[in-house]
Structure formats: structure tokens, C-alpha cells
């Protein structure tokens, strides 16, 4: 997608999430409650007005305030799109399906609004539906968008790329890119746009613990995307930048990179288990690369004939595992694999919960090693 249509659809989607949230805030809190998605959407509108000089009779075309955003949604979107220069209209028509969308909200008497029929339609869009009631609407929405891009084919190739610490920073100059980086950018330009942001620092560092590029919110103040790393940051490693480049963004780091590290360690155990003879073979992400969501990460065929469905989960609160939507398979055991640093009580909370008893169990990577008779490296 080209920059304008990508930013324009972001403005519309964030704006929709934000207005929806704003309308659900009780009246007495209206003045004090801040809606980040709405502020961001107005910011994008202002940015595009400025960058593309979007004016009609000296009035800016795209909405820059909450009120203007609401007004835009009270009419079919094409009313505002038609005011844009022809080449931008073409871009929106060719690259998005926003042109045909009717009014999304309707004002009712007391200055409030409700969803229209098109509004309900918009809300049922998968990424919107999954994020609209989340506390962090935008982060969840971006994560869903990335997931949809992943599922458009070559799932495994895309995901393996994004889980590899070698790819958390990519120089813009192709001479310094690896072959896989060049291929990824060329084959999946939209996914690349969604997952990476331009680097703005003159020097960058890698977290020694997890491999991610450290964030530097204020000059000289370093943070890792994973909070767990922040006590180990004195060991950071400087990265050779080779000029301008791009850094993996937070949403991708949280949704793909970190869960991926756990998957990588499970994969290692299974590979050794095959050599040891306890595992016959396994499939990585079966179903997911065919666009089926919510399946397990590994389907493992054990030597003794049993089948295990393994799902890697690295979440702080066991609650998310307990209420996880599980896809079962007849005669197969469902097992959650969690990192080694999860305490026993964490496992017990899951394994003793009635929603998990006889359905699924939870073990750590080191427990998996033990069961599959895979020896520790240093043992």
C-alpha cells in the first residue's frame, strides 16, 4: 500500500475505534477521559492535511479534532474522499475498500451518537471486533492486522523471519541486508511496513538478554520491549547501523518476536528428542499457515503413538491461559508450554482450574525436556 492510503485507512480505523470508545464513556467522565485512538486519528488527519496540502476553500479537508472526526463518520466516507486530489482518490479506490462505506454513526437528540447499519458492519470486521473493547485498542488492532497479513500465505516463512533476532534491525541500504531480508522486503512489502519503523537514533543497542533493539525514550535512557530485561541493560551491545535503517516495532515484538523465542526453544527440544528417539516427527503451526486461526503451535507425533498438541504461551497472568480458546483434536493431548521462569504456583493455578482439568495441562520447557528424555546441554 502507498503511504497516503495506508495512513488514511489507519486514520479511519483508529477514528472508528476512538469514537466508539468515546460514545461508551459515561457522561460525567466525558471531559476527563482521554481516548488515545481518537487523539492518534486526529493527529494522522492533521499530518496528512499538512503533508499533502489538503485544503478546500482554505479549510483543511481531513478531520483534526474529535468533533470533525465524528462529523466525518456521520456521512458516507466518499463525501470526504471526493474532496481529495484525484490521484489520492484513485489510490484509496485501488488499495482500500473504504470508498463504498456509508455513514457509521448517527447523532441522537442529546448530542450523543449510535452505530448505523454500516457501523455494525464495520464493527464486525475481524481486527476491529477483536480490539474495540480492549484497553489498548490500537496495539490490539495493529497486532490483528499483522496477523491477517501473516495469514495471506507463506505463513511459516514470514513468521520464522520475524522471530529471528537477526532481523530486529534492517539497514535501508540493500548492500547491507542479508539475502533473506532482501527477499522478505521484496515479497511482503505490506507486512514489512506494518512490522518495522524507521530508526531515528544515531546509535542503537541490542539487548543482550533477548536480542531486541533497545528503545531510548529519552537520550541515554534505555528500555527493552520486554520488561523482564530491564535489570540487565548494562550489558547492551552496540549495533552496526550501516546508515539509515528500520527497527522492529513494539507490536510485532510483543505479538510475534517474544512468543517466537519460546517456540524456538521448544523446537530445539523437539529436534533433540527426534534424535533421542522419543519423538517421531512434528509439525510446526499446522493449520495456521492455511489461514486457520487459534490452532496450536506444534503437533507432535511421539514414538509410542501418542499425539500432543503444544501451544507456547508467555503471559504474565495465568488467567489468559485458563480462558484461552482451545482447538482440540480427538485422541490428542493439549499441553501449554510456558517459560522456565514461571513458578510452580503459576502452573498449579492453571492445572487445578476446572476449566483446564481433563482438557489441557501446563508445563515448562524444562519439564518437556525431562518427559522427552532430552538432556540439559551442560548436564
Interface with Zn ion (CB under 5 A), residue from 123, 209, 254, 326: 209
CB of 211 to Zn ion, least distance (A): 7
Q: Which is nearer to Zn ion, 254 or 303 (CB)?
A: 254
Q: How many residues bind Zn ion (CB under 5 A)?
A: 7
Where helices occur in 104-235 by DSSP H, the ranges are 117-123, 126-131, 137-150, 155-163, 179-187, 189-195
Q: Does 208 bind Zn ion (CB under 5 A)?
A: no
207 binds Zn ion (CB under 5 A): yes
Residue among 146, 229, 321, 350 that touches Zn ion (CB under 5 A): 229
Applying CB under 5 A, the span of 62-70, 229-237, 342-350, 369-377 interacting with Zn ion comes to 229-237
Q: Give yes or no for residue 224 binding Zn ion (CB under 5 A).
A: yes
210 binds Zn ion (CB under 5 A): yes
Instruction: Provide, rounded to whole angstroms, the least separation between the CB of residue 305 and Zn ion.
Output: 40
Query: Shortest approach of Zn ion to residue 229 CB, angstroms?
Result: 3
Nearer to Zn ion, 265 or 349 (CB): 265
Report d(CA 281, CA 287) in Å as an integer. Answer: 16
What is the nearest approach in angstroms of Zn ion to the Cβ of residue 230? 8
Shortest CB 209 distance to Zn ion, Å: 5
Nearest to 342 by CA among 320, 371, 309, 373: 320
Q: Which is nearer to Zn ion, 209 or 242 (CB)?
A: 209
360 — phi, psi (to 5°)?
-150, 155
> Nearest approach, Cβ of 226 to Zn ion (angstroms)?
5
Residue 80 contacts residue 72 (beta carbons within 8 Å): yes
The region, left, alpha or beta by phi > 0 then psi within -120 to 50, assigned to residue 376 is: beta
Stretch that binds Zn ion, among 17-25, 119-127, 168-176, 199-207 (CB under 5 A): 199-207
Burial class (CB in 10 A: 0-12, 13-18, 19+), 168: buried
Task: Please identify, using beta-carbon distances, which residue of 39 and 203 lies nearer to Zn ion.
Answer: 203
Q: Which is nearer to Zn ion, 48 or 210 (CB)?
A: 210
Report the distance separating Cα 314 and Cα 282, nearest Å.
Answer: 21
- Whole-angstrom distance, CA of residue 368 vs CA of residue 270: 9
The DSSP bridge partners found for residue 279 are: 302
Q: How far apart are CA 185 and CA 176, in angstroms?
A: 13
Measured distance CA(48)–CA(80) in Å, rounded: 13
- Chain residues in the site for Zn ion (CB under 5 A): 207, 209-210, 212, 224, 226, 229
Amino acid at each position: 500500500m502507498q503511504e497516503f492510503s495506508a495512513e488514511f485507512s489507519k486514520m479511519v480505523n483508529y477514528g472508528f475505534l476512538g469514537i466508539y470508545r468515546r460514545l461508551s464513556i459515561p457522561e460525567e467522565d466525558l471531559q476527563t477521559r482521554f481516548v488515545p485512538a481518537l487523539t492518534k486519528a486526529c493527529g494522522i488527519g492533521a499530518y496528512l492535511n499538512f503533508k499533502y496540502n489538503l485544503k478546500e476553500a482554505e479549510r483543511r479537508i481531513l478531520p483534526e479534532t474529535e468533533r470533525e472526526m465524528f462529523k466525518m463518520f456521520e456521512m458516507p466516507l466518499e463525501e470526504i474522499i471526493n474532496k481529495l486530489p484525484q490521484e489520492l482518490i484513485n489510490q484509496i479506490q485501488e488499495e482500500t475498500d473504504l470508498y463504498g462505506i456509508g455513514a457509521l454513526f448517527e447523532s441522537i437528540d442529546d448530542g450523543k451518537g449510535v452505530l448505523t447499519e454500516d457501523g455494525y458492519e464495520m464493527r464486525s470486521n475481524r481486527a476491529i471486533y477483536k480490539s474495540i473493547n480492549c484497553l489498548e485498542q490500537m496495539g490490539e488492532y495493529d497486532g490483528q492486522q499483522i496477523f491477517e497479513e501473516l495469514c495471506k500465505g507463506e505463513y511459516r516463512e514470514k513468521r520464522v523471519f520475524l522471530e529471528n533476532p537477526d532481523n530486529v534491525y534492517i539497514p535501508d541500504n540493500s548492500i547491507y541486508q542479508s539475502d533473506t531480508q532482501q527477499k522478505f522486503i521484496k515479497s511482503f512489502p505490506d507486512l514489512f511496513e506494518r512490522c518495522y519503523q524507521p530508526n531515528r537514533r544515531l546509535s542503537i543497542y541490542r539487548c543482550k538478554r533477548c536480542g531486541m533493539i533497545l528503545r531510548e525514550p529519552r537520550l541515554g535512557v534505555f528500555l527493552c520491549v520486554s520488561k523482564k530485561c530491564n535489570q540487565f541493560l548494562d550489558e547492551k551491545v552496540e549495533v552496526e547501523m550501516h546508515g539509515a535503517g528500520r527497527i522492529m516495532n513494539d507490536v510485532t515484538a510483543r505479538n510475534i518476536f517474544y512468543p517466537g523465542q519460546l517456540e524456538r526453544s521448544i523446537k530445539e527440544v523437539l529436534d533433540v528428542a527426534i534424535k533421542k528417539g522419543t519423538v517421531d516427527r512434528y509439525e510446526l503451526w499446522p493449520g495456521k499457515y492455511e489461514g486457520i486461526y487459534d490452532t496450536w503451535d506444534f503437533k507432535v507425533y511421539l514414538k509410542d503413538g501418542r499425539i500432543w498438541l503444544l501451544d507456547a504461551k508467555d503471559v504474565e497472568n495465568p488467567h489468559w491461559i485458563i480462558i484461552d480458546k482451545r482447538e482440540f483434536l480427538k485422541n490428542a493431548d493439549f499441553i501449554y508450554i510456558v517459560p522456565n521462569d514461571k513458578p510452580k504456583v503459576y502452573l498449579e493455578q492453571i492445572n487445578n482450574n476446572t476449566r483446564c482439568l481433563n482438557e489441557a495441562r501446563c508445563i515448562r520447557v524444562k519439564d518437556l525436556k525431562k518427559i522427552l528424555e532430552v538432556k540439559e546441554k551442560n548436564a
